[in-house]
Structure 1
């Protein structure tokens, strides 16, 4: 299945779900799936990812991973590996400590937790528990860059082979509650100064510094004007 963006993929996947459940006379199962998808908001499954990183960051793999979990729950998709419940519990228990505000590469995830149940677009690792209690997703991302090729007179696009994790998604009551951003993810979301306005989890000394800088910023009319023009929080 190919789509131009995450929202288009959302629409296509919903249509496929509807067709499959209609053919198999599974209207109640379809209602359950669509109930889960409603939790992502009025902009669909792509909405929270677009709000998080912006339209310039591709979220098709993340959207596909959400639907993959639902396809698997209804038996329309087979996972290569199902994680033992006890092992899965240990996996989820360590997520925030291991990933929140830290830089972690895909290879480190696989070394810690073994092979994934499913890989979407070579960058989203999906771990499915055997008891189907909810998947854990590691969203990796690599920003493409162009390097000049000496002697060739041209540029070549390059993509890293071991991308950084930008977000971890775990089973929770809603999208935000289950989201953990790595250091890379926080910089992508808020920029290098992310810690000024997102100080949770930082050492007390750094939180105090952030509070002082926020106070200075709020007292500077030029900074207030800048925020009113560019900051979506204004």
Structure 2
């Protein structure tokens, strides 16, 4: 269900319903209702629509978030002992994960770089969400890759072929935090997807220079004085 979530659901909401129902059934059979209630309460940080809600709100419904939702429930299933993973990271291996915001900065990152720096993931959801689990039982870290659907016409064949990226870009990193937004670390690609090419005007990056900051401030003033922006 988690490594090939696209076979079980077409949307993030469907994945959420399927995984939530399975977890509820398993914990009921094992008489772990109190633990289940605590886990459900902890998912409240995703908002009233559930786990899929913030992904849809930030990146759009057209960018289906099936493996992202699956990864969240994979962590829960693992905590309950219902799922095994390929790798558990030691305390020393986990140290680089504590400075991810500085590591990514305002740049683009590809999946191959993530695996080169941090090693193979504990779990890979649909070949594009890399999940890393620490031995100490603290929260997982997720690297969400994304590829926009690109079609190219094939002359002489009368059809369009979908171009597949072998080494997709990382859109965002999710780290343990009290709220979804607090734990969301956007790459440069992710910022453009969320806010557009002008993201730097209202959302300054980690590496923004004083000159760029001054230009952004001037543009904000112009927008504030433009009646069409009201």
Q: 1:4 to 1:153 in 2, by over 3 A?
A: closer
CA drift at 1:200: 4.2
**TM-score in terms of structure 2 length:** 0.93
CA drift at 1:222: 2.5
Which structure 1 residue ranges, 5 or more long, are not aligned? Answer: 225-234
Of the three residues 18, 28, 32, the one matched with 1:26 is 32
Higher relative contact order (CA 8 A, sep 6+): 2
Please state if 1:76 is matched with 2:82. yes
The size of the alignment, in residue pairs, is 223
Measure, in 1, the Cα distance between the counterparts of 2:34 and 2:79: 13
CA drift at 1:163: 0.4
Q: Match of 1:82, SS?
A: coil
Query: Could you say what the CA RMSD is over the residues aligned between the two structures, in angstroms?
Result: 1.2
Of the three residues 91, 99, 105, the one matched with 2:97 is 91
1:1-234 aligned within 5 A: 1=1, 2-93=8-99, 95-201=100-206, 202-224=208-230
**TM-score in terms of structure 1 length:** 0.92
CA drift at 1:128: 0.3
CA contact (8 A) 2:106 2:205 kept: no
CA drift at 1:189: 0.3
